[in-house]
């Protein structure tokens, strides 16, 4: 019960449709936080998917609710955050887990459009900024809180096949460092997780749709790139890292990037 009596908001708590048993980072984090005692608000642009996550929590004996909000819509984000604060009087944890890449038009530089740039930075960076903007006044007033932002190990990879996703995720790293130092005086912490190659519906199954290749073929190709046991991580690996950073066990940790990548970043440089 490492999050007992905590109120947690998970942005991106739904899940993209998958072809197997893989679980997304956001859903895994919501379920794990609830198991550890948190009351969880599941926010997603797909209300049906957010409700599926919240129903999984309540079926297991936890407390949760689902709200709909597009992360690029400030009014919707503000409304969702205010709804949580009015319902439970506080917000202890904010977990930002929304991001897009090729599905938003990411590509090599010569093929990138301004529309793709705006879309990817709006979802990957603006969305995180808006959530933090409306949660931080609540956390500052209560003089406590933990923010966990999901970036990507690709922010530090060289030779990435596209340019916008890693750039937006590196921007998230810098943004998180800034809010960490600007809010440290009142005990609010902010940290970033850098997932590597993960076996999630968003990462694998959407590539199946885009390429027409089999899931096993794409998964095997990704597994081979991971140093640790030549095996991708899962949403639970990201969730476990998020649990640590959100918990009081990480009470003296702020402004860091935690790789969850099977050793991929150890060979960069």
The answer to whether the Cα torsion of 6, 12, 17, 19 is positive or negative is negative
Q: What is the pTM of this model?
A: 0.97
Fold for 7-257, please state it: Rossmann fold (3.40.50)
Q: What percent of the chain has pLDDT over 90?
A: 90
The per-residue pLDDT for range 73-109, each reduced to its tens digit, is 999 999 999 999 999 999 999 999 999 998 899 999 9
Q: Which residue has the higher pLDDT, 154 or 208?
A: 154
The per-residue pLDDT for range 129-153, each reduced to its tens digit, is 999 999 999 999 999 999 999 999 9
User: How high is the pLDDT of residue 267?
Assistant: 85
| Res. 180: pLDDT tops 80 | yes
* Phi, psi (deg, nearest 5) at residue 191: -140, 165
Confidence of residue 21 (pLDDT cuts 50, 70, 90): confident
Question: Residue 29 in contact with residue 215, Cβ under 8 Å?
Answer: no
The per-residue pLDDT for range 212-224, each reduced to its tens digit, is 899 999 999 999 9
User: How high is the pLDDT of residue 139?
Assistant: 98
Q: How far is it, in rounded angstroms, from Cα 105 to Cα 221?
A: 22
CA angle 16/200/11 to nearest 5° reads 55
| Res. 269: pLDDT tops 70 | no
Task: Report the catalytic residues.
Answer: 165
């Amino acid at each position: 019960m490492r999050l007992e009596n905590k109120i947690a908001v998970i942005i991106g708590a739904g899940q993209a449709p998958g072809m197997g048993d893989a679980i997304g980072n956001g859903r895994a984090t919501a379920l794990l936080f609830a198991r550890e005692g948190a009351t969880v608000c599941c926010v997603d642009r797909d209300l049906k998917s957010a409700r599926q996550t919240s129903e999984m929590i309540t079926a297991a004996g936890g407390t949760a609710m689902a709200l709909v909000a597009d992360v690029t819509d400030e009014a919707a984000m503000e409304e969702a955050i205010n709804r949580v604060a009015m319902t439970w009087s506080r917000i202890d944890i904010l977990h930002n887990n929304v991001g897009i890449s090729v599905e938003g038009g990411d590509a090599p530089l010569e093929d990138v459009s301004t529309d793709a740039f705006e879309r990817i930075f709006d979802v990957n960076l603006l969305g995180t900024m808006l959530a933090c903007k409306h949660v931080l006044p609540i956390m500052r007033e209560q003089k406590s809180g933990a923010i966990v932002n999901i970036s990507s190990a690709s922010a530090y990879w060289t030779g990435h096949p596209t340019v916008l996703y890693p750039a937006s995720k590196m921007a998230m790293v810098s943004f998180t460092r800034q809010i960490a130092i600007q809010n440290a005086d009142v005990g609010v912490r902010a940290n970033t997780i850098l997932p590597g190659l993960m076996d999630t519906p968003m990462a694998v199954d959407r590539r199946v749709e885009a390429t027409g290749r089999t899931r096993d073929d794409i998964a095997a190709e990704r597994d081979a790139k991971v140093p640790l046991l030549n095996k991708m991580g899962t949403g639970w690996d990201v969730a476990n890292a998020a649990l640590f950073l959100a918990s009081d066990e990480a009470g003296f940790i702020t402004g860091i990037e935690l790789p969850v990548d099977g050793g991929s970043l150890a060979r960069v440089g």
